[in-house]
Homo-oligomer: A and B are copies of this chain.
Amino acid sequence: MRNDGRVHNQLREIHIDTNYLKHPEGSVLITVGDTKVICTASIEDRVPPFMRGEGKGWITAEYSMLPRATNQRTIREAAKGKITGRTMEIQRLIGRALRAIVDLKAIGEKTVWIDCDVIQADGGTRTASITGAFVAMAIALNKLHTDKRIAKFPIIDFLAATSVGILDNQGVVLDLNYVEDSAALVDMNIIMTGSGEFVELQGTGEEATFSYSQLQQLLDVAQQGLMNLFEIQREALGEIADKIQPAAEGQA
């Protein structure tokens, strides 16, 4: 039994509230157990300098935590005057993952800015951010599409993320909360498409290592969780979900 009563391959309770904020083109509040993240998607009508003239769009992400999202107050990065390595890693991960399931040519020279702001943290904030950001981005890009600012709906597959890990006495577990995450010997984040393809796999031994057979177990449990997440995303998106058709698009 896990510290919050779940079985080893059980996700926490998950909600995705869409159109959570008034101003952004797309926004959600995603709740994964006690982890809460506001994800927004904003459309800018230009791309960064290094991409100009290529006729392609760009997707970039920023991530932050409120100071009291955590149990102990953390110092704001703005107050420190610089962004931590952890934040940079997460920002790069979110952007890279979302770019894998969008036809950037279909967007044209536009940038999708993703903002993930954690208002309450209890483990798994980066995977919750990706799962929520996908929905916020789909809403924003659907708005572009229905406004006829882009000719083709550019999302070619679902995308969600979860964590799996190895705990000392319990073996492989799904969707670690903060207490579990702190104790885990091995921690793995998996980002997958609705078609079951990997987009990103990051497994880390925390002053520990893991074997080939443990890797297989981690991947199995993660896949089960991800299939549930796609269902929750589909429900949150309603009719927009039907526009996402990987079969018709093929895969790179």
**Interface size for chain A: under 10, 10 to 19, 20 to 34, or 35 or more residues?**
35 or more
| A71 interfacial by beta-carbon distance below 8 Å | yes
Tallying the copies of this chain within the complex gives 6
Give every chain B residue within 8 A of A76 (Cβ-Cβ). Answer: 62, 64, 78
Q: What CA separation (Å) do A227 and B215 show in the bound complex?
A: 19
Give every chain B residue within 8 A of A205 (Cβ-Cβ). Answer: 100, 197-200, 252
CB–CB B89/A83 < 8 A:
no
Q: What CA separation (Å) do A206 and B203 show in the bound complex?
A: 18
CB–CB A251/B209 < 8 A:
yes
Q: What CA separation (Å) do A86 and B78 show in the bound complex?
A: 14
Closest to A208 in B: B252
Q: Which of B44, B193, B208 meets A73, CB within 8 Å?
A: B44
Between A and B, 27 residue pairs with Cβ closer than 8 Å are A21-B119, A22-B34, A24-B68, A40-B67, A42-B67, A42-B73, A62-B79, A66-B115, A73-B113, A78-B78, A81-B82, A83-B85, A85-B89, A89-B92, A100-B208, A119-B119, A195-B209, A196-B212, A198-B209, A198-B211, A199-B205, A200-B203, A201-B204, A201-B215, A202-B203, A205-B252, A215-B219
